[in-house]
Amino acid sequence: ARIVTLPGDGVGPEVTAAAVAVLQALAGHYGHEFSFDEQLIGGCAIDATGEPLPAATLAACQQADAVLLGAVGGPKWSDPNAPVRPEQGLLGLRAALGVYANLRPLQVHPALADLSPLKNERLQGVDVLFVRELTGGAYFGAKTRTDDTATDECKYTVAEVERVARRAFALARGRRKQLTSVDKANVLETSRLWRSTVQRIATEFPDVKVEHQLVDSMAMLLLSQPSRYDVVVTENLFGDILTDEAAALAGSLGLLPSASLGESRVGLYEPIHGSAPDIAGKGVANPVGTILSAALLLRHSLQLEAEAVAIEAAIDRVLNDGPHSRDIGGQAGTQDVLDAVLQALD
Amino acid sequence: ARIVTLPGDGVGPEVTAAAVAVLQALAGHYGHEFSFDEQLIGGCAIDATGEPLPAATLAACQQADAVLLGAVGGPKWSDPNAPVRPEQGLLGLRAALGVYANLRPLQVHPALADLSPLKNERLQGVDVLFVRELTGGAYFGAKTRTDDTATDECKYTVAEVERVARRAFALARGRRKQLTSVDKANVLETSRLWRSTVQRIATEFPDVKVEHQLVDSMAMLLLSQPSRYDVVVTENLFGDILTDEAAALAGSLGLLPSASLGESRVGLYEPIHGSAPDIAGKGVANPVGTILSAALLLRHSLQLEAEAVAIEAAIDRVLNDGPHSRDIGGQAGTQDVLDAVLQALD
Ligand SMILES: CC(C)[C@H](C(=O)O)[C@@H](O)C(=O)O
Ligand SMILES: CC(C)[C@H](C(=O)O)[C@@H](O)C(=O)O
């Protein structure tokens, strides 16, 4: 299988290297051949080529089986009025690959419950899969700007909502068969289209129980009753906000993976944390979110379920027994955590 | 002073009546004359007149010194595709009164910390004032809808951002002198205009420390470090989501007030909870959020600071000593809580 790696900026190279080491070890154990092709994206791509998503990067990704990304962005490129920004590389890649469904699983590891801002009893049984629409909405709508005024258009078509809703229903079918669709249908026209489309697709999945929540209520319910939710599907911007809110429950952003999938086989896998410039290059970043993203890559793009489960079991052991990186209250560096994961895999 | 009351739907009439009783008692103690003019809004207005904001209601509000609102909406009027919806009454009123700055204070009462989903130690020192822009953004932008496509336009002008930013800076000056401005400047054009405008207004308030956060990060930081924030200013939709998330920290929505202010003296005051149709008419709704909204009315529209403080002190005593309504773990009804507040005021 051909895997393109996009280490990107900040801690991206460190955590990507750790995940690649895990994939290589696994390939050895199971007798697979994985090739790794490293390409530029984000701030480092701007520095090298002037563009956040160079043509060579995009071409390599389009020919790959899967793409593993570290992080993009950092203070060096953070002027919001700069002509090119690192984030454009990531948004352009999502659009070009057509990965409209961003899966963000949330579980709170029992050994880490004390790190969560939520009271331990509220964390019992939390197991949510967010499905965030990733290639539409205000992220990709028309924008205007004059000296005096700015606009962003949020736009959704029925077909865009249908495909992400179907994906979410199918995922719910393989889990606890509950789908929560989040919108702001009492105010937004796009949300009314969203809601009526989800309601129609629901008839194709009569075994899945559906509920609709307004985004403001959902922001509360995620805190007051997080264990109530199974699969949560929502549009791009609401998904950006709600998944980060939910991620805070895990105690550290460093732990959480994501998978972005479209109709084609090539998926985009990345930890949900950012480039963390404050700790970049120090060898202390938590590689767990990226290693778990590699597990999702094995599962969703390479159909290697046993291998994915092996990684998840190894991470589970390391989170139970340590060593723990600094973000989760330990002293271990990136390499220490990686070594422990590799050992747990043996 | 002339106060228009808009009890609205669901529990709205019960909590509004309690707040009016408190205002009347206070008028007696301090020798003020308050007149109360009750008008229709929301679902009950649709039922009576076909419109969620009847002309008589709007005219009365425009001539008042302040408006006290209960809640609007309910299952009876909740079809998102209905031609008129209760929420339109509230949005129309906000726009017509020009109340562009929605103040939502958040404190967690020490006696109620166990009710919060957050671990008690994280709640220490939480004292945030949200300033949500209330008359712009996607709430009021152009919308389109065809069978296939829907759009919502988010639009902001420099003048709209300036006035709410100035209000937020001025409020920060009277508090801990820290302002956090929240946007999504790495993606949205309106957020880039928002950020650069806030940066410019900041030069008028050199004594206030400003920071900018992306809305997704802020959704996390509100949970991981809630005590770090003083005044938080943001646009309409982000404010809707973040203030409801923050409200969850207080343990019950029934406790929290809000004030919506514009350039004119007439302000709009309402609890942040909704119409709670499941408990409407049962005499069990928590009136505290509405009574605290009446305190904000005294402070901001009538310049009666001592009277506002008297209400807040009375509520503090009742939250400490009880009786407590069901949403905060007690058995008391609306009238029991009201009686205790009236007694504490004496
Ligand atoms: C970097 C940024 C553009 C991105 C987003 O908003 O989608 C990030 O926050 C994410 O959630 O992946
Ligand atoms: C009822 C609804 C239109 C309203 C809003 O979204 O502004 C409510 O959620 C609020 O926050 O006051």
User: What are the backbone dihedrals phi and psi of residue A80, each rounded to the nearest 5 degrees, phi first?
Assistant: -65, -15
Q: Which residues contact B13 (CB under 8 A, 6 or more apart)?
A: B7, B70
Q: Please report where in the chains the tokens 């007051």 appear, as a residue.
A: A224
pLDDT band for A82, please (50, 70, 90 cuts): confident
Asked if residue B127 and residue B78 are part of one domain, the reply reads no
Model pLDDT, residue B81: 74
Question: Can you tell me the distance from the alpha carbon of A113 to that of A300, in angstroms, rounded to the nearest whole number?
Answer: 28
**Residues B121 and B233 both lie in one domain:** yes
Overall average pLDDT of the A22-29 stretch:
97
Instruction: Name beta bridge partners: A36.
Output: A3
My answer on whether B219 and B180 are in the same domain is yes
Alpha carbons B262 and B88: distance in angstroms, whole number: 19
A274 shares a domain with A238: no
Tokens of A278: 């404050």
Question: Does B321 qualify as catalytic in the annotation?
Answer: no
User: B227: pLDDT confidence band, cut at 50, 70 and 90?
Assistant: very high
User: pLDDT above 70 covers what percent of chain B?
Assistant: 100
Mean pLDDT of B3-15: 98
Q: What is the DSSP string of A314-328?
A: HHHHHHHH---BGGG
Closest ligand, as measured to the CA of B274: 2
The DSSP string of B258-278 is: EEEE-SSS-EEEEESS---GG
The tokens for A107 are 């579980």
Mean pLDDT of chain A: 97
Q: What pLDDT score was predicted for residue A81?
A: 75
**Interface with chain B: mutation pick from A154, A227, A235, highest number of B CBs within 10 Å:** A154
Residues A55 and A130 in one domain: no
What whole-number percentage of chain A has pLDDT above 70?
100
Cross-strand bridge partners of residue B112: none
Is the pLDDT at B138 greater than 90? The verdict is yes
- How do residues B28-57 score in pLDDT, each as one tens digit? 999 999 999 999 999 999 999 999 999 999
Phi/psi of residue B335, each to 5°?
A: -65, -40
Considering the candidates B127, B240, B316, B339, report the single residue annotated as catalytic.
B240
- Number of domains chain A contains: 2
B223, B249, B275: which is the final residue of a domain?
Answer: B249
The CATH number for B234's domain is 3.40.718.10
Q: What pLDDT score does A55 carry?
A: 98
Give the C-alpha separation, B344 to B312, whole Å: 10
Question: Nearest CA of chain A to the CA of B29: how many Å?
Answer: 38
pLDDT at position B275 is: 96
Q: How far apart are CA A258 and CA A69, in angstroms?
A: 10
Distance (Å, whole) CA A209 – CA A177: 6
Listed residue (B97, B36, B142, B69) closest to B262, CA to CA: B97
- CA-CA distance, B294 to B304, in Å (whole number)? 11
When pLDDT is cut at 50, 70 and 90, the band that residue A276 belongs to is very high
**Distance between CA atoms of B133 and B146, rounded to whole angstroms?**
29
Give the pLDDT of residue B225.
96
Active site annotation includes A240: yes
Interface test with B, best of A220, A221, A235 (most B CBs within 10 A): A220
Burial of A127 per CB tally in 10 Å (0-12, 13-18, 19+): middle
What pTM was computed for the model?
0.97
Please tell me whether residues B238 and B307 are part of one structural domain.
Answer: no
Strand partners, A303: none
Residue A89 has pLDDT above 90, yes or no: yes
Do B243 and B256 fall within a single domain? Answer: no
B147 lies within 8 A of chain A by CB? yes
- The answer to whether residue A156 neighbours chain B at the CB level (below 8 Å) is yes
Q: Does B87 touch chain A (CB under 8 A)?
A: yes
Helix, strand, coil % in chain A, rounded to nearest 5: 50, 20, 30
B62-94, pLDDT tens digit by residue? 999 999 999 999 999 988 778 899 999 999 999
Inter-residue contact B67 to B45 (CB < 8 Å): no
Tell which of A198, A214, A249 closes a domain.
A249
Ligand nearest to the CA of A132: 1
Please check whether residue B200 touches A, CB under 8 A: no
A187 and B91: CB-CB below 8 Å?
A: yes
pLDDT at A268 over 90: yes
Establish whether the linkage from the previous residue to A323 is cis, with ω within 30° of 0. Answer: yes
pLDDT of residue B79: 81
Asked if the structure places residue A112 within a domain, the reply is no
Q: Which domain holds residue B62?
A: 1-108+252-346
Which residue, among B300, B226, B275, has the nearest Cα to B67 in the 3D structure? B300
- For chain A positions 107-126, those within 8 Å of chain B (CB to CB) are 116-120, 122
Note whether B243 and B259 are same-domain residues.
no
Q: pLDDT tens digits, residue range B246-301? A: 999 998 999 999 999 999 889 999 999 999 999 999 999 999 999 999 999 999 99
Contacts of B123 (CB under 8 A, 6+ apart): B108, B113, B116, B226, B227, B249
pLDDT band at A160, cuts 50/70/90?
Answer: very high
Instruction: Please tell me the number of Cα atoms within 13 Å of A158 on its side-chain side.
Output: 10
Does A189 share its domain with A154?
yes
For residues B184 and A237, the answer to whether their CB atoms sit within 8 Å is yes
Q: Which of A44, A56, A46 is nearest to A84 (CA)?
A: A46
What pLDDT is stored for residue A265 in this prediction? 81
Nearest CA in chain B to A139: B187
**Cis peptide before B323, with omega less than 30 degrees from 0?**
yes
In A289-308, the residues whose Cβ lies within 8 Å of chain B are none
Residues B226, B128 within the same domain = yes
Question: Is residue A162 within 8 angstroms of chain B, CB to CB?
Answer: no
- The number of residues making up chain B comes to 346
**Which residues are bridge partners to B2 per DSSP?**
B35
Domain ends where: A201, A229, A249? A249
Average pLDDT over residues A252-281: 95
Cβ(B87) – ligand 2 distance below 6 Å: yes
Question: What single string gives the DSSP state of each residue in A262-307?
Answer: -SSS-EEEEESS---GGGTTTT----HHHHHHHHHHHHHTS--HHH
List A9, A100, A156, A184, catalytic entry: A184
- Do residues B121 and B105 make contact, with C-beta atoms less than 8 angstroms apart? no
Q: What is the pLDDT of residues A202-215, one digit of tens each?
A: 999 999 999 999 99
Contact flag B184-A145 (C-beta cutoff 8 Å): no
> In the structure, which protein residues have their CB atom closer than 6 angstroms to any atom of ligand 1?
A 87, 90-91, 240; B 186-187, 216
In a domain, A131, yes or no: yes
pLDDT of residue A78: 83
* A110 within domain boundaries: no
H/E stretch holding A179 reads strand A178-183
Residue A79's pLDDT is: 81
**pLDDT for res A177:** 98
Q: Give the pLDDT confidence score for residue B78 in this predicted structure.
A: 83
Interchain proximity A192–B150, CB inside 8 Å: yes
- Gap from A139 CA to chain B (nearest CA, Å): 6
B245 and B256 assigned to the same domain = no
Residue A111 lies in a domain: no
**Three-state DSSP class for B165?**
helix
Which residues have a Cβ under 8 Å from the Cβ of B31 and sit 6 or more positions away?
A: none
Q: What integer is the mean pLDDT of A252-272?
A: 95
Residue found under tokens 């309601």: A199
> Is A276 marked as binding a ligand?
yes
**CA separation for the pair A130, A336 (Å, rounded):** 30
Residue A92 has pLDDT above 90, yes or no: yes
Is A7 known to sit in a ligand binding site? no
Do B100 and B224 belong together in one domain? no
What are the residues facing B260 on neighbouring strands?
Answer: B102, B268
Q: Is A282 annotated as a binding residue?
A: yes
Interface touch B153/A158, C-beta < 8 Å: no
Q: What percent of chain A has pLDDT over 90?
A: 97
B216 counts as catalytic: yes
Residue A191 lies in a domain: yes
Q: Does B229 touch chain A (CB under 8 A)?
A: no
